[in-house]
């Protein structure tokens, strides 16, 4: 039974995804190690290092179904690594050809390269969801580009914005995340093959040829030298996931705040029973956003583990390397789950434009005080305009009237502007600055680039 809720058959539905768990499943990991062993045999046969017939037999036997779990467990418990048991099982399944398995390799070569293969698959899943989230947010930005709402700073109403601009702001980091991912993948997706201490001495003059052939066979990049104690790439992958989760957490935080009963401007997509309370039938809790926040905090807590694991002693680490296996898979699983939650929210978000307008009008026009001041400044001068608008705000608050009415009472304003002009000046939709241009710029950046 799993002890981490993210891996359980019930709670795992909230924290992760079956697709990502399948990538990092223990059975998959052993198959990826066998894939590396099979690729190594094929390359060495081509180079004349091992007999071609032996390589064919090894490749055919390199199936996880040929491994006995109890044997692997006993070996790992005794040796401290799974590869000794894996090679023994592969050799058994290959019969006489088994004498040629794992030729010139070392445990970490097989494990690290298998991990890279898993990370490659994991990043592909992450990239697909980044694209989907970006597309959904871009769609919401376009749909709501003219839906005026209150912009908030320090949790207080500040100036009018549109919900489309908010969605465009949510989308903006995902443009960068996709760029980051494209840039970091070549640094991560590299073969690891260095032998016992990074010299490939056991393969004589053919060590580099085997390393290059293995990389080509597995579709991985060729590093300048073995990186078995250079862990920056895997740390970077995890840090990247932490950045993604930070952007997801920002969206989730905004959704939770906007969904409060007293605000009520947006809600997560409605599904019968979703976010229900066991005692309060009226509740529709922002449950997906809550799990996004939980996942984000966990992933960001795993980033220091991977950064700390970079301090690897000499030519083979005594502890830091083993810590990676505790952090890397969970970071991928939790990030993918958070992305799926975010995608569902972004694609099905319920937006209450009327409530946005009502909330915008809560201050009776005070939210556009800056707009009025800037509009009156060319007529009255900036200092006088500031004084007039400040006085009008005080009157509006004291007498419980709108800013437009308070301005109309002031002769300094009413002698220069009629009521329709004052109402235009106090219309929140008229003080949106470069909102539409900013939305256009984000949407343009978010469009898939043609080669």
Q: Which token pair is 4?
A: 């981490």
Specify whether the CB–CB gap between 426 and 403 falls below 8 A.
yes
Report the phi/psi class of residue 63: left, alpha or beta, with left for phi > 0 and alpha for psi in -120 to 50: beta
Query: How many CB atoms within 10 Å of residue 19?
Result: 16
Specify whether the CB–CB gap between 150 and 158 falls below 8 A.
yes
Environment class of 401 (CB within 10 Å of its CB; exposed 0-12, middle 13-18, buried 19+): middle
* Rounded Cα–Cα distance for residues 440 and 444 (Å): 6
Q: Which token pair is 419?
A: 């009521």
Q: Which of 17, 75, 144, 154 is catalytic?
A: 154
* Rounded Cα–Cα distance for residues 123 and 20 (Å): 10
160: three-class secondary structure by DSSP: strand
Query: Is residue 434 among the annotated active site residues?
Result: no
Phi, psi of 45 (to 5 degrees): -65, -40
Query: Is residue 278 among the annotated active site residues?
Result: no
Q: Which of 176, 202, 228, 277 is catalytic?
A: 277
Helix ranges (DSSP H) in 259-319: 287-308
Q: Which residues of 407-434 are buried (b: 16+ CB within 10 A; e: fewer)?
A: bbeeebbeeebeeeebbebbebeebbee
Active site residues: 154, 277
């Amino acid at each position: 039974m799993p002890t981490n809720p993210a891996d359980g058959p019930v709670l795992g539905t909230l924290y992760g995804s079956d697709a990502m768990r399948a990538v990092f499943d223990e059975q998959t990991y052993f198959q990826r190690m066998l894939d590396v062993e099979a690729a190594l045999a094929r390359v060495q046969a081509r180079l004349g290092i091992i007999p071609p017939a032996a390589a064919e037999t090894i490749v055919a036997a390199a199936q996880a179904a040929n491994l006995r779990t109890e044997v692997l467990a006993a070996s790992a418990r005794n040796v401290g690594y799974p590869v000794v048991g894996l090679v023994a099982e592969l050799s058994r399944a290959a019969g006489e050809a088994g004498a040629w398995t794992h030729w010139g390799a070392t445990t970490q070569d097989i494990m690290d390269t298998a991990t890279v293969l898993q990370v490659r698959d994991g990043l592909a899943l992450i990239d697909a969801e980044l694209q989907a989230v970006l597309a959904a947010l871009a769609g919401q930005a376009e749909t709501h580009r003219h839906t005026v709402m209150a912009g908030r700073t320090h949790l207080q109403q500040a100036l009018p914005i549109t919900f489309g601009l908010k969605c465009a702001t949510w989308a903006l980091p995902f443009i960068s995340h996709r760029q980051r991912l494209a840039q970091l993948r070549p640094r991560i997706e590299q073969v690891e093959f260095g032998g016992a201490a990074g010299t490939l001495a056991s393969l004589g003059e053919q060590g580099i040829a085997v390393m290059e052939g293995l990389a080509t066979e597995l579709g991985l990049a060729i590093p300048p030298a073995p990186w078995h104690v250079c862990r920056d790439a895997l740390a970077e992958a995890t840090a990247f996931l932490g950045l993604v989760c930070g952007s997801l957490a920002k969206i989730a935080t905004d959704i939770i705040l906007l969904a409060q009963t007293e605000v009520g401007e947006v809600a997560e997509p409605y599904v019968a029973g979703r976010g229900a309370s066991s005692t309060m039938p009226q509740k529709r809790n922002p449950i997906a956003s809550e799990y996004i926040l939980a996942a984000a905090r966990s992933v960001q807590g795993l980033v220091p583990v991977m950064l700390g694991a970079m301090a690897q002693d000499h030519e083979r680490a005594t502890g830091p390397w083993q810590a990676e296996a505790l952090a890397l898979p969970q970071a991928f699983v939790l990030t993918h789950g958070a992305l799926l939650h975010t995608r569902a929210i972004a694609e099905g978000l319920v937006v209450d434009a009327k409530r946005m307008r009502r909330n915008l009008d809560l201050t009776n026009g005070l939210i556009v005080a800056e707009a009025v001041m800037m509009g009156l400044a060319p007529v009255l001068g900036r200092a006088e305009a500031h004084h007039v608008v400040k006085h009008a705000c005080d009157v509006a608050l004291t007498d419980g009237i709108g800013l437009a009415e308070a301005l109309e009472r002031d002769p300094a304003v009413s002698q220069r502007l009629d009521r329709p002009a004052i109402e235009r000046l106090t219309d929140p939709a008229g003080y949106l600055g470069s909102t539409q241009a900013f939305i256009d710029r984000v949407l343009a950046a978010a469009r898939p680039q043609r080669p």
